[in-house]
Structure 1
């Protein structure tokens, strides 16, 4: 996957922002980190659950591994360049979902449904992001602040 596409997708999620921490880009929603990357974005750590961590590291050990420091909380390290783009975009979206406030996730899902997308996943983000009503989720994000 193109490292800049990783950054672009992480930043495109409602309420998400990129903040440099420890000399590296971190991606947050409401101040909580859902992904972080190396300065050149060629490797990253993404928030997952323990079952997903085990499945990814078991199935693709050349792409995914248990993340340093935060792996004990279920995070995976990923070689961004070797990862399947759709799979990694889905993983980022799910990491955002685990971290974002429930109201923001609900607004995101409602906007995606209105756009004719059952759930805005990585593949849909590549093809149909222009149809996504980001304004609706931005309003919820502002109301929650």
Structure 2
């Protein structure tokens, strides 16, 4: 299980997806994919933040409220917060890969998939 931002950052980089960069947003370290926020650590609670949708977040929170959490700051956004120490690498890999694909320009993704 992933417990810290350093572990999540290293894990995300280990996926070897192109166009992923370290960045700082709102004074906090983040990862960007294709120039857009991709994954980061909440400054409000001990949790990793992943792109998703409000509907998916609600479903995950309902299924496992100890793992999938929410801070009021993120309530209006389609983000999925996963509690520190409960971030499953298999889940994180699938989520990060899917959101990376969703964020990729169509031409880039077509060329990437052709390889």
TM-score, scaled relative to structure 2: 0.74
Pairing 1:29-40 to 2, within 5 Å after superposition? 29-38=33-42
- 8 Å contact kept, 1:19–1:26: yes
Deviation at residue 32 of structure 1 after TM alignment: 1.1
- Structure 1 pair 67–26 and aligned structure 2 pair: CA distance change class (3 A): farther
| Aligned equivalents of 1:6, 1:61: Cα separation in 2 | 20
Q: Tell me: higher relative CO, structure 1 or 2? Use CA pairs within 8 A at least 6 residues apart.
A: 2
Structure 2: unaligned runs, 5 residues or longer: none
- Structure 1 pair 90–104 and aligned structure 2 pair: CA distance change class (3 A): same
| Aligned equivalents of 2:52, 2:60: Cα separation in 1 | 10
Q: CA RMSD in A?
A: 2.4
| Aligned equivalents of 2:96, 2:35: Cα separation in 1 | 16
Structure 1: unaligned runs, 5 residues or longer: 112-145
| Aligned equivalents of 2:74, 2:102: Cα separation in 1 | 15
Q: Which aligned runs of 4 or more in structure 1 are off by greater than 4 angstroms?
A: none
| Aligned equivalents of 1:98, 1:71: Cα separation in 2 | 21
* Aligned pairs, number: 109
Whether 1:46 aligns to 2:50 is: yes
| Greater strand content | 2
Whether 1:98 aligns to 2:115 is: no
| Greater helix content | 1
Q: Which residue in the other structure is 1:138 paired with?
A: none
TM-score, scaled relative to structure 1: 0.61
Instruction: Give secondary structure in 2 for the equivalent of 1:103.
Output: helix
Deviation at residue 19 of structure 1 after TM alignment: 0.4
Larger Rg: 1
